[in-house]
């Protein structure tokens, strides 16, 4: 089990961008390098993840709504004038992260 503020990386050698040979581990290391600069600007903001579970040439889906059950995940109510609704969105709630591979 990961400790608080720790991210566990699985399949670090999985190729995400075949044309460039960039792996999941490469992308993880890039995000870890820029985290001190970017994370303070993301803290407590709602976000949407665009996910490619079968690689960039496979089907894609957007993951944005927070879990309906109570979790440690932070969430915010976001209104949409286009949809005339309010939805519970995930929020970036981490301040510091360390890596565990």
Please indicate, yes or no, if residue 31 is contained in any of the structural domains: yes
Rounded Cα distance between 29 and 16, Å, is 14
Give domain status of residue 83, yes or no: yes
Which of 2-6, 11-15, 46-50, 66-70 has the highest average model confidence (pLDDT)? 11-15
> Is 13 inside a domain boundary?
yes
Contact between 34 and 22 under an 8 Å Cβ cutoff? The reply is: no
Cβ(99)–Cβ(28) below 8 Å = yes
Listed in sequence order, the residues at least 6 apart from 1 whose beta carbon sits closer than 8 Å to its beta carbon are none
User: What total of structural domains would you count in the chain?
Assistant: 1
Domain residues for 31?
A: 6-100
The answer to whether residue 43 is domain-embedded is yes
pLDDT of 98 reads 40
Number of C-beta neighbours around residue 64 at 10 A? 15
- DSSP-derived 3-state class of residue 12: coil
Residue 1 located in a structural domain: no
pLDDT digits (tens, 9 = 90+) for 33-70: 998 898 888 776 777 778 888 888 888 888 766 555 55
More confident residue, 80 or 45: 45
Q: Which string of b and e fits 72-98 if b means at least 16 CB within 10 Å? A: eeebeeeeeeeeeeeebbbbeeeeeee
């Amino acid at each position: 089990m990961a400790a608080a503020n720790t991210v566990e990386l699985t399949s670090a050698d999985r190729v995400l961008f075949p044309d460039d040979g960039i792996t999941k581990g490469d992308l993880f290391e890039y995000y870890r390098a820029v985290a001190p600069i970017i994370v303070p600007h993301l803290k407590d903001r709602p976000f949407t993840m665009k996910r490619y579970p079968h690689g960039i040439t496979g089907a894609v889906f957007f993951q944005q709504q927070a879990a309906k059950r109570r979790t440690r995940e932070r969430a915010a109510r976001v209104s949409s004038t286009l949809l005339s609704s309010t939805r519970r969105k995930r929020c970036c709630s981490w301040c510091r992260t360390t890596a565990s591979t």
